[in-house]
């Protein structure tokens, strides 16, 4: 009896076991929540005719944005020849694949007829930006699937049991540059058109502006790379299965800092242009962001902590060189991107623009996600964490020592230190 | 604009078998003139450039040849982009299934169209089923009651006029020629086919 308890304690009550148990419990309750949604319908959410898109859409938009590290890093490595960042591209690809799976889960919950999801691939309205997004996401998910194959091939069990299959999967890596071209094209198309989904809606003036697509693209690249680096560094701190090259990460971090400057520049002019003249709906929406219910999200989440602070941290060398501050900066960028997506979606709905003639009285509505939206939403995030954890443990997705002969070796310049090797 | 008795909305619910919680044809109070409340009924505007048709990813919203904006409830996946895009809040979503009897439907009649399932948005269709059936019997929409939308026929106050805007001799064309009129959110360029006569005229023109 004693030995059984000891075995249990030693095999299950490990940090890994506790982590899995925690994620498992969250996933289980999310599964129950999901079943409830499919059974009872969307009436159990807090979505209304006035706010038809809420928390799930935010998770969908954020998951897609934070997956953008995949195409950015793959393009950098396989198209722009920055070969030494290949190990980061490997991590980013896996995160991208996970993120798109998460986005699809959120969508499946959110659409009124999940049983008809396949119709979005069969019936085409080529004029719709959502059609374009659907097509690009579908195709890009296929690209990610092919890109992730060589990573899945590094699963020990698969290598031993099915060496030929693993070899075939591994071989797909030869097509990495071609896949990167497709990935870049499809991603940049739908990342920006996801912004345009909002940007073309004339009925809601706070959305109706051409910057939307550019801002969505910007935030996707920023958030995607930041999440990839944050996850890599965090994994390397928590487990010996993950090995990072700190110098490599710091280089990308600096690039990210410059990119943040460009982002802030865009946001500034975008912000300023919206403060001029009264436009029903837009002005009220903008006031919700700057003074109203969304002001904390906007000023703290999007601007101060989400953009300004990480920019300073990433461009100020001592802060950037400190792994802790650097990780914090990445986390802030990720949070800022999520806040941006949440605010952008919700602000267009909260200020209700009247269609009645005469007085222009803008009404306000509210939206607080229902418990079932939270439980399932957090479950989707838990799925992402689980996939990443398993990837780190069994697929070496964070291992900056991995080099591939056919693509040359990681060149380490004089003075660079490869950590943890 | 007309004085509301809610009759048009009730008859709309009966003909189209609409959930009592939803409205295709909301009647709004928009103000007072000479101490009398002024109401504004809001059916689907049947826009020439309908944002809902433009944005639907699967093409579940589409134009009929006569310009009516239709919903294919079989194709719809319930993504709700149309609801975000509609400038007139003209779409109501089936958040839950509508089961059981419809209080608006009288004992002696049956609704004209099939009830919509859970998970799709629905909206006014200018009673296309009445127009089609009427025309197949050789009747003229806007002239013969059986070929005219239910809300127009059912109005006890005569507040709504329906007809073919492409026909310069139709009653709607004639009324719009004689009277000043306005449409909702005209600045968006959607070109709605629902015209409102100023409050003194006390009527709505649909065409």
CA nearest neighbour of B1 among B161, B170, B143: B161
The domain tally of chain A equals 1
A277 is in which domain, residue-wise? 35-407
A213 within some domain: yes
pLDDT tens digits, one per residue of A320-337: 999 999 999 999 999 999
A202 within some domain: yes
pLDDT tens digits, one per residue of B159-171: 889 999 999 999 9
Domain containing residue A108: CATH number: 1.20.1630.10
Burial A254-269 (b: 16+ CB within 10 A, else e): eebbebbeebeeebee
Contact list, A110 vs chain B (CB under 8 Å): 79
A383 within some domain: yes
ipTM of the complex model = 0.91
The stretch A287-310 carries a mean pLDDT of 96
Q: Between A86-110 and A246-274, two packed helices, what is the crossing angle to 10 degrees?
A: 50
What residues have CB less than 8 Å from B144, skipping those under 6 apart? B134
Q: Which residue of A has its CA nearest to B92?
A: A49
Residue A80 DSSP code = S
Specify the CATH number for B7-206; select among 3.20.20.70, 3.30.70.20, 3.30.930.10, 3.40.50.300. Answer: 3.30.70.20
CA nearest neighbour of B196 among B38, B49, B81, B33: B38
Residue of B28, B47, B51, B78 to mutate when probing chain A, most A C-beta within 10 A? B78
How far are the Cα atoms of A77, A173, A185 from residue A182, in angstroms, in the given order? 14, 14, 5
Contact list, A116 vs chain B (CB under 8 Å): 76-78
pLDDT tens digits, one per residue of A167-224: 999 999 899 999 999 999 999 999 999 999 999 999 999 999 999 999 999 999 999 9
pLDDT tens digits, one per residue of A329-375: 999 999 999 999 999 999 999 998 888 887 677 889 999 999 999 99
CA distance B188 to B207: 19
CA nearest neighbour of B120 among B61, B44, B43: B61
Contact list, B180 vs chain A (CB under 8 Å): none
Q: Which residue of B has its CA nearest to A43?
A: B95
Residues from B contacting A (CB-CB < 8 Å) are 28, 30-31, 40, 42, 51, 54-60, 75-81, 83-89, 91-97, 117-121, 182, 184-185, 188-189, 196
A359 touches chain B (CB under 8 A): yes
Contact list, A358 vs chain B (CB under 8 Å): 30-31
Smallest CA–CA separation between B150 and chain A, in Å? Answer: 23
Return the CA Rg of chain A: 22
Contact list, B95 vs chain A (CB under 8 Å): 41-43, 47
A2 within some domain: no
**pTM of the predicted model, to two decimals?**
0.91
Nearest to B119 among A112, A203, A356 (CB): A112
What residue segments make up the domains of chain B, in order of their start? Answer: 7-206
A120 touches chain B (CB under 8 A): yes
Higher-confidence position of B38 and B16: B16
Give the three-state DSSP class for A283.
helix
A14 within some domain: no
A4 within some domain: no
Smallest CA–CA separation between B95 and chain A, in Å? Answer: 5
How far are the Cα atoms of A2, A14, B119 from residue A6, in angstroms, in the given order? 6, 12, 52
CA nearest neighbour of A312 among A256, A268, A270, A266: A256
CA distance A141 to A361: 44
């Amino acid at each position: 009896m004693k030995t059984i308890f000891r075995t249990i304690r030693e095999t299950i009550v490990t940090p890994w076991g506790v982590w899995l148990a925690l994620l498992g419990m969250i996933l289980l309750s999310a599964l129950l929540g999901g079943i409830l949604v499919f059974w009872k319908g969307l009436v159990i959410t807090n979505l209304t005719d006035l706010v038809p898109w809420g928390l799930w859409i935010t998770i969908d938009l954020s998951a897609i944005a934070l997956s953008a590290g995949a195409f950015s890093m793959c393009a950098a490595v396989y198209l722009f020849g920055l070969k030494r960042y290949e190990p980061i591209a490997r991590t980013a690809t896996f995160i991208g694949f996970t993120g798109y799976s998460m986005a699809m889960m959120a969508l499946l919950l959110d659409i009124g007829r999940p049983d008809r999801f396949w119709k979005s691939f069969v019936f085409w309205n080529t004029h719709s930006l959502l059609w374009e997004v659907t097509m690009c996401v579908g195709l890009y998910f296929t690209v990610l699937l092919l890109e992730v194959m060589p990573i899945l091939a590094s699963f020990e069990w698969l290598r031993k049991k099915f060496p030929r299959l693993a070899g075939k999967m591994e071989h797909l890596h030869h097509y990495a540059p071609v896949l990167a071209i497709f990935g870049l094209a499809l991603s940049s198309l739908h990342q920006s058109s996801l912004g345009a989904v909002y940007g073309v809606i004339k009925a809601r003036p706070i959305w109706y502006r051409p910057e939307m697509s550019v801002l969505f693209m910007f935030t996707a690249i920023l958030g995607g790379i930041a999440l990839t680096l944050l996850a890599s560094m965090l994994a390397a701190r928590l487990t010996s299965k993950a090995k990072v090259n700190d110098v490599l990460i710091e280089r990308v971090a600096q690039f990210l800092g410059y990119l943040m400057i460009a982002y802030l520049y865009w946001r500034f002019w975008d912000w300023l242009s919206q403060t001029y003249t009264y436009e029903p709906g837009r002005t009220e929406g903008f006031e919700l962001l700057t003074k109203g219910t969304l002001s904390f999200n906007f000023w703290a989440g999007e601007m101060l902590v989400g953009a300004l602070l990480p920019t300073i941290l990433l461009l100020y060398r001592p802060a950037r060189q400190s792994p802790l501050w650097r990780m914090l900066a990445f986390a802030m960028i990720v949070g800022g991107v999520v806040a941006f997506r949440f605010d952008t979606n919700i602000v267009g709905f909260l200020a209700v623009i009247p269609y009645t003639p005469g007085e222009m009285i803008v009404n306000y509505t509210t939206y607080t996600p229902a418990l079932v939206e939270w439980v399932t939403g957090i479950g989707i995030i838990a799925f992402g964490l689980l996939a990443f954890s398993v990837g780190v443990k069994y697929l070496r997705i964070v291992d900056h020592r991995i080099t591939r002969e056919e693509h040359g070796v990681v060149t380490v310049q004089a003075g660079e230190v490869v950590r943890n090797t | 604009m007309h004085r509301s008795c809610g009759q048009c909305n009730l008859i709309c619910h009966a003909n189209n078998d609409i959930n009592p919680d939803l409205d295709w044809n909301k009647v709004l109070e928009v103000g007072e003139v000479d101490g009398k409340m002024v109401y504004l009924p809001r059916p689907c505007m049947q826009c020439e450039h309908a944002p809902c048709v433009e944005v639907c990813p699967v093409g579940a919203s589409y134009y009929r040849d006569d310009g009516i904006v239709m919903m294919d409830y079989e194709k719809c996946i319930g993504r709700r982009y149309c609801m975000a895009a509609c400038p007139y809040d003209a779409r109501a979503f089936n958040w839950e299934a509508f089961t059981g009897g419809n209080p608006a439907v009288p004992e002696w009649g049956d609704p004209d169209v099939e009830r919509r399932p859970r998970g799709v948005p629905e909206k006014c269709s200018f009673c296309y089923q009445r127009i089609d059936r009427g025309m197949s019997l050789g009747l003229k929409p806007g002239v013969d009651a059986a070929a005219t939308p239910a809300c127009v026929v059912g109005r006890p106050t005569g507040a709504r006029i329906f007809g073919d805007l492409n026909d310069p001799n139709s009653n709607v064309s004639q009324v719009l020629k004689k009277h000043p009129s306005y449409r909702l959110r005209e600045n968006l360029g959607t070109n709605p086919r629902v015209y409102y006569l100023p409050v003194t005229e006390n009527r709505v023109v649909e065409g």
